[in-house]
Amino acid sequence: MRTARFESEFFDPAATLGCGQAFRYLPAEEGTLVLSAERACLLRREGDVTFLSAEEEDFAYFQRYFDLSRSYAEILARIGALGIPRLCEAAAFGKGIRILNQDPAETIVSFIVSQNNNIPRIRAILSRLCEALGEERSACGHGYFAFPRIERLAEQGEAFYASLGCGYRARYLAGTARLLAEEGTEKLAALPTSRLREALLRLPGVGPKVADCILLFAFRRTEAFPVDTWVEKAYRSLGGTLSGREKIAAALAEKFGDLSGYIQQYLFYFEREGGKERWHPSR
């Protein structure tokens, strides 16, 4: 196992896992076990330092997963230069957030499940899915279930997904899994953002907001600006007057360009958590 240390100022596990990007993490005695596709790593924070531990063969994967080669101090400086007080406050509050580079198939499935749902329920559904179809594995001294291969997901019908508690999303999951198994996700990554968004919108159950989340969290298109209830509230607090979340998302993406995804996360986290007791990933 390999361990590295990073400044917590720009890598806070609680903030990164608590801002709705990903849903597969488990409390562990040493910190938090973070699951991605078939891999796992351990995160723990001690004061001003965050420790990342992973098996040697998985370490580079998680360096990329947590975007650890990028300077978030530079991103914060660019946002500060915009001179928008509320935005500066949100960025300062959430500066420990890092935008994750997630497995595309897992992200697509996860955000279809996320529609009109809350984080504890999303996590529970995905956990049941992995236990039912995923390979049992171990890493960093912990056992876990990998995210199922897309071929395994495609073998299941609507009734299976309904049995996990997916509700109306069951039909979407069955249809999307079949399409992904037939077409894969590799070609999607090569598409320009506008065409990639169109391709995602053709998947059953993927609407504009879900497509923007997938663009940002699976394909690192930071020009995407997903808008949900919390971000719409933040938009109003910034003086925005547009109606309709698609219009709001398009306007904000145009205004902030490649900073959009970072700003979206800071605003979401600040609006949802700014007035609360600090969240912890074991909850």
Which residues are known to be catalytic?
A: 209
DSSP conformation letters of 140-154 = TTEEEEPPPPHHHHH
CA distance linking residue 163 with residue 160, whole number of Å: 5
Q: How far is CA 221 from the centre of its chain?
A: 12
CA distances from 47 to 50, 66, 105, 176, 274 (A): 8, 19, 35, 43, 20
- Please tell me what DSSP assigns to residue 258: G
123 phi, psi to nearest 5 deg? -60, -40
CA distance linking residue 140 with residue 42, whole number of Å: 7
CA distances from 198 to 7, 49, 161, 194, 257 (A): 38, 41, 25, 6, 19
The alpha carbons of the chain give a radius of gyration, in whole angstroms, of 18
- Please tell me what DSSP assigns to residue 56: G
User: Among candidates 3, 72, 95, which has minimal Cα distance to 44?
Assistant: 3
Q: Show Cβ contacts of residue 95 under 8 Å, excluding neighbours closer than 6 positions.
A: 9, 10, 12, 72, 76, 266
Q: Give the count of alpha carbons within 13 A of 198, CB side only.
A: 5
Note whether 274 and 226 are within 8 A (CB): no
